[in-house]
Amino acid sequence: MEIGWWGVLIAVLGGAIRIGTPFLFVSLGECLTEKSGRINLGLEGTLVMGAMTGYAVSLHSGSPWLGVLCAGLAGMVLGALHSWLCSFQRVNDIAVGIAMMLFGTGLAFFLGKPYIQPSAPRLPSIDLGGWSDIPQLQAALQINALFLMGIVVAIALAWMLKNTAWGLKVRVVGESADAARALGLPVDRIRILSTAQGGFLAGIGGSYLSLYYPFNWSEGLSSGQGLMAVALVIFARWHPIGCLWVSLLWGGAAALGPSLQSVGITGGYYIFNAIPYIMTLAVMIITCSPRRTLVGVPHELTVTR
Amino acid sequence: MAASPKLTRRQLLKGTAAAGALGMLGGLRWTDQAWAAGKVKMGFIFVGPRDDYGYNQAHFEGKSAVAKLDWVKAFDEEKVPETIEVQKTMESMVKLDGAQVLFPTSFGYFDPHILKVAPQYPTIQFLHCGGLYQEGKHPKNAGSYFGYIDESQYIAGIVAGGMSKSGKLGFVAAKPIPQVLRNINNYTLGARSIRPNCTTNVIFTGGWSLPVREAEATNSLVDQGIDVITCHVDSPKVVMTTAEKRGIYCTGYHCNQSKLAPKGYLTGAEWNWAKVYMDYADMIRKGQPVPHLVRGGLKEGIVKVSDYNQVVTEAVRKQADAAKDKFMSGGMVVYKGPIKDNTGRVVIAAGTEHVQTDMWLESMDWLVEGVIGSTKS
């Protein structure tokens, strides 16, 4: 079926979901971590480690879902390690984050050597395009259950941060550690738990890459997506629902470059491929103001202090 | 700063113990080397992982084949960046492993790295994969080897054109450099030799290893109605699995990917480096001079074509095999005028021929008629 320019729209729609899902998980994880007052730059390493772990477990056990779970657990360990190191006096979370990023990717490359070649079982997809008789749209709407879970996690996280005692504790620790201590809250423990949970989500994001899309374990798999997700959190103003929209937007923008070439817009593909980054810069410039700090920023973050 | 770092006695002891352990490892290495005396020692350097289902794996398969010979000792290092790192690797292979011949396989290793290291070790051969060596200008103990894999792409193009229903082929390419453009053009010319209205839609991803963008490019091409796809990126794995998932045909590149797409993998253009490395090993053992330039295609056995999938029809097989026979006999000229590029300009006039070894082809910067795409970035 000839679809011509509609192909671009379908690619952006499909890409938003396909490419956006790992961004969603990592940015939700980072959102929770940052709400507790820490920045975990190591999520790039966590993402890669999750991708490798998920692929390896799926290959050995034959169950991709077990792979997803183990990827989350691996991410959790890395997150806990990060926040444990940061809980010592005068340890800078950004420096530890960079170390964890290198450690996570290095470890994943080292352990992942035997898994580049074999093909692991893939996560199944759900057909949501059955109502349409356009095969291209059907393909774009073949989505993975992890995307739906990501939406549920985003809504749940937003609700819990706003309405539960646990959410309040995380926010207090993130806004002012001194106030939290005065209230008798265990600041370090709350941060360790938040960062570990954030790592869990980022690990799942990694397993989506290796077990669903693009479905492959290789050393070039992530190419900086974990780092971008950290920037997305700022873009999303530290709000889980914002993370959802921003991830979708980025996924769609990343699909634009290749799809324009497929309809014959062949020049300037380096520019089109750079659209997500240009977009981020633009939003940052438009929303910044010298008179006030960013809305929603947790005040304990080392970058804003 | 509160306290300046100080080396305690304990740390010093630890450090000494570690150095001792390293020294022992070094000793083990040395005995290993002594044991291998009298063998032809060959060192291989790869830019990516050995088992990437792509360029590096093709070279690694060649290395593994030559390593099986009992009079050869072959060693390799993978993931060596095209920086000063490769100079260190080359030096350590010469000094520690006693390499007699080195094969730095990545394009970017040559200038300035091989050019810098080779003159320091005049008895060692530095053989580079790629077309960059120039007689007289470059060191005497260097050389280059390369295969005309575009010949295999021509055959794959015939199979693709013959098996396509829509007459639309897809090509996911990394960057518009001559080797890539030559593959795209040969693929298209192959397809159009049996089906003149065939088109090839090209997407340049802008990098050699960008899995997500390669998958997106494949999906976009399928959405536009192409039904056979191939690629020129470092690892074709993602393109092949995505094509299989979307239920279209694909043809491989670098090495055999039929396991990744058992239903749709029609055929593929593969390297056969084992042949080249065996020949070099033999020359060195016999003490023969090593030629500065080794080139070849299907006829010389440096490249090959994957076995056809069972779905490839008899008629298409015959057409592909006929072209293959012509390459094998040396009578095939792909770039025979008149040939127009995809903007309508005549690039090769009627009556002009550019044979495979013609250096003019190695500076290709145009796409042949029938390709939808542009070399401009």
Residue B185 lies in a domain: yes
Contact list in A for residue B245 (CB cut-off 8 A) is: 215
pLDDT interval class at A263 (50, 70, 90): confident
Assess whether pLDDT exceeds 80 at residue B187: yes
CATH number at residue B104: 3.40.50.2300
B135 touches chain A (CB under 8 A): no
* pLDDT, position B162: 95
What are the φ/ψ torsions at residue B244 (nearest 5 degrees)?
Answer: -65, -40
- The answer to whether residue B280 is domain-embedded is no
Is some CB atom of chain B closer than 8 A to the CB atom of A273? yes
Chain A residues touching B174 at Cβ < 8 A: none
Side chain identity at residue A191, one-letter code = R
- What's residue B26's pLDDT? 44
In sequence order, the 6+-apart residues with CB closer than 8 A to the CB of A11 are: A140, A255, A256, A258, A259, A262, B216, B219, B220, B223
B204 touches chain A (CB under 8 A): yes
Q: Do B168 and B259 belong together in one domain?
A: yes
Residue-averaged pLDDT of chain B:
88
Q: Is the peptide bond before A22 cis (omega within 30 degrees of 0)?
A: no
- Domain-located, residue A301: no
ipTM: 0.89
Domain for residue B68, yes or no? yes
Residue B6, domain member (yes or no): no
Looking at beta carbons, which residues of chain B come within 8 Å of A136? 222-223
For the record, the structure tokens of A221 come out as 């798999």
Predicted local confidence at residue A293, as pLDDT = 64
**Two tokens at A172?**
């207090």
Encoded tokens for B197: 């209205």
Asked if B203 and A216 come within 8 Å (Cβ–Cβ), the reply is no
Domain co-membership, B154 together with B118: no
Q: Tell me the chain A residues in contact with residue B217 when contact means C-beta distances shorter than 8 Å.
A: 258, 261-262
CA–CA separation, A78 vs A95, rounded Å? Answer: 15
Average pLDDT over residues A157-176: 93
Residues 6 or more apart whose Cβ sits within 8 Å of residue B156: B187, B190, B230, B251, B252, B266, B267, B268, B269, B305
Computed on alpha carbons and rounded to an integer, the radius of gyration of chain B in Å comes to 23
pLDDT at B363: 85
- With an 8 Å Cβ cutoff, is B246 touching chain A? yes
Q: Are residues B125 and B158 in the same domain?
A: no
B44 within some domain: yes
- B254 shares its domain with B236: yes
A218–B222: do the CB atoms touch at under 8 Å? no
Tally of CB atoms within 10 A around B330: 13
Range with the lowest mean pLDDT among A81-95, A240-254, A263-277, B155-169? A263-277
Other beta carbons less than 10 A from residue B152's beta carbon: 32
> In this structure, is residue A304 part of a structural domain?
no
Rounded distance between C-alpha atoms, residue A158 and residue B262, angstroms: 45
Q: What is the mean pLDDT of residues A71-92?
A: 93
- C-alpha span between B93 and B46 (Å, rounded): 13
Which residues of A fall within a CB distance of 8 Å from B52? 116, 218
Q: Does B372 touch chain A (CB under 8 A)?
A: yes
Instruction: Specify whether B85 is located in the same domain as B171.
Output: no
**A267 part of contact set with chain B, CB < 8 Å:** yes
Shared domain for B79 and B226, answered yes or no, is no
Answer whether A258 sits within 8 Å of B52, measured CB to CB: no
pLDDT at A150: 96
Stated pTM of the model? 0.85
Q: What is the pLDDT of residues B293-343, one digit of tens each?
A: 888 899 999 999 999 999 999 999 999 999 999 999 988 999 998 999 999
Label each residue of B115-143 as H, E or C.
HHHHHHCCCCEEEEECCCCCCCCCCCCEE
**pLDDT confidence of A292, banded at 50, 70, 90?**
low
pLDDT, residue B37, reads 58
Position B28 in a domain = no
Rounded mean pLDDT, B203-214: 90
Q: What is the DSSP string of A101-164?
A: HHHHHHHHHHHHGGGSSS-PPPPPEEE--TT---HHHHHHTEEEHHHHHHHHHHHHHHHHHHHS
Record the tokens describing residue B288, joined without a space. 């023969």
Give me the total of CB pairs closer than 8 Å, taking one residue from chain A and one from chain B. Answer: 126
Residue B28: predicted pLDDT = 44
Residue B205 in contact with partner chain A when CB distance is under 8 A: yes
Between helices A240-262 and B211-223, what is the axis angle to 10°? Answer: 60
CB atoms within 10 A of CB B272: 22
Angle, CA of B253, B256 and B259, to the nearest 5°: 120
Q: Is residue B11 part of a domain?
A: no
User: Element (H or E) spanning A216, and its range?
Assistant: none
Q: Would you state the pLDDT for residue A279?
A: 81
pLDDT band at A125 (very low <50, low <70, confident <90, very high): confident
Beta-bridged to residue B294, according to DSSP, are: B145
Q: Which domain holds residue B114?
A: 39-147
Per-residue confidence band for A275, with pLDDT thresholds at 50, 70 and 90: confident
Same domain flag for B240 and B318: yes
- Give the end of a domain, one of B90, B124, B147: B147
**CA B6 to chain CA centroid, nearest Å:** 51
Task: Grade residue A273 by pLDDT with cuts at 50, 70 and 90.
Answer: confident
Cβ neighbours of B211 in A, within 8 Å? 214, 216, 218, 220-221, 223
Domain count, chain B: 2
- Residue for token digits 């993370």? A243
Q: What is the mean predicted confidence (pLDDT) over A207-235?
A: 87
Residue A162 has pLDDT above 60, yes or no: yes
Q: What is the pLDDT of residue B1?
A: 39
Predicted confidence at residue B29, as pLDDT, reads 44
Whole-angstrom Cα distance, residue A203 to residue A197? 10
Confidence of residue B35 (pLDDT cuts 50, 70, 90): very low
Domain-located, residue A11: yes
The predicted structure's pLDDT at residue A132: 84
Residue A47 lies inside a defined structural domain of this protein: yes
Position A232 scores a pLDDT of 87
Residue B16's pLDDT is 53
Element (H, E) at A272: helix A269-273
Q: What is the CATH number of the domain that holds A138?
A: 1.10.3470
Q: What per-residue confidence (pLDDT) applies to B9? A: 56
Whether residue B331 is found in the same domain as residue B210 = yes
At B132, which amino acid appears? L
Helices (H), ranges, B52-177:
55-67, 84-95, 115-117, 149-163
- Tell me: do B340 and B201 sit in the same domain: yes
Q: What residues make up the domain containing A140?
A: 6-287
Contacts of residue B367, defined as CB under 8 A and 6 or more positions apart, other chains included, come to B181, B184, B185, B202, B341, B342, B373, B374, B375
Residues of B within 8 A of A273 (CB-CB) are 205-206, 213
| Calpha distance B83→B48 (Å, rounded) | 13
Predicted local confidence at residue B4, as pLDDT: 47
Closest Cα to residue B181, out of B374, B345, B377, B355? B374
State whether residue A120 sits within 8 Å of chain B by CB.
Answer: no
Nearest CA-CA partner of B231 in B243, B328, A131, A16 = B243
Q: Is A234 left (phi over 0), alpha (psi -120 to 50) or beta?
A: alpha
CA–CA separation, B114 and B103 (whole Å) = 10
In angstroms, the CA A255 to CA B217 distance is 8
Share of chain A above pLDDT 70, in %: 95
Chain B partners of A263 at a C-beta cutoff of 8 Å? Answer: 224
Same structural domain, B156 and B119 = no
Is any Cβ of chain B less than 8 angstroms from the Cβ of A89?
A: no
Chain B window 47-86: which residues touch A at a Cβ cutoff of 8 Å? 48-49, 51-53, 79
Closest partner CB to B221 (pick from A209, A214, A262): A262
Give yes or no: residues B77 and B222 share one domain: no
pLDDT at A170: 94
Q: Is residue B158 part of a domain?
A: yes
pLDDT digits (tens, 9 = 90+) for A195-216: 999 999 999 999 999 999 899 8
Which of B128, B147, B166 marks a domain boundary? B147
Which residues of chain A from 150 to 179 reach within 8 Å of chain B, CB to CB? none
* Integer Cα distance of B129 and B146 in angstroms: 6
- Count of structural domains within chain A: 1
Q: How far is A19 from chain B (nearest CA, A)?
A: 7
- Using pLDDT thresholds of 50, 70 and 90, give the confidence band for residue B11: low
Query: What tokens appear for A218 in the block?
Result: 């290789």
Q: What share of chain B has pLDDT > 90, as a percent?
A: 69
**Residues B221-266: tens digit of each pLDDT:** 999 999 999 999 988 999 999 999 999 999 999 999 999 999 999 9
Is the pLDDT reported for residue A5 higher than 90? no
Q: Which residue has the tokens 């971008």?
A: A228
Where among B101, B127, B147 does a domain terminate? Answer: B147
Q: Name the pLDDT band for B33 (thresholds 50, 70, 90).
A: very low
| Minimum CA–CA partner of A117 in chain B | B51
Asked if B100 and B185 sit in the same domain, the reply is no
Q: Half-sphere exposure of residue B10, counting CA atoms within 13 Å on the CB side?
A: 0
Q: List the structure tokens of A54.
A: 């998920």
b/e sequence B77-88, b meaning 16+ C-beta within 10 Å: bbebeeeeebbe
Residue tagged 């080139």 (tokens): B295
- Please identify which residue in the block is written with the tokens 């014959």: A264
If one compares A288 and B44, the residue with the highest pLDDT of the two is B44
Strand partners, B42: B74, B101
Residue B211 and residue A220: Cβ atoms within 8 Å?
yes
Min distance B374 CA to chain A CA atoms (Å): 5
Nearest to A116 among B49, B213, B220 (CB): B49
Alpha-carbon span A258 to A195, nearest angstrom: 35
Percent over 70 (pLDDT), chain B = 90
Distances (CA, A) of A1 to A103, A232, B166, B308: 48, 37, 10, 28
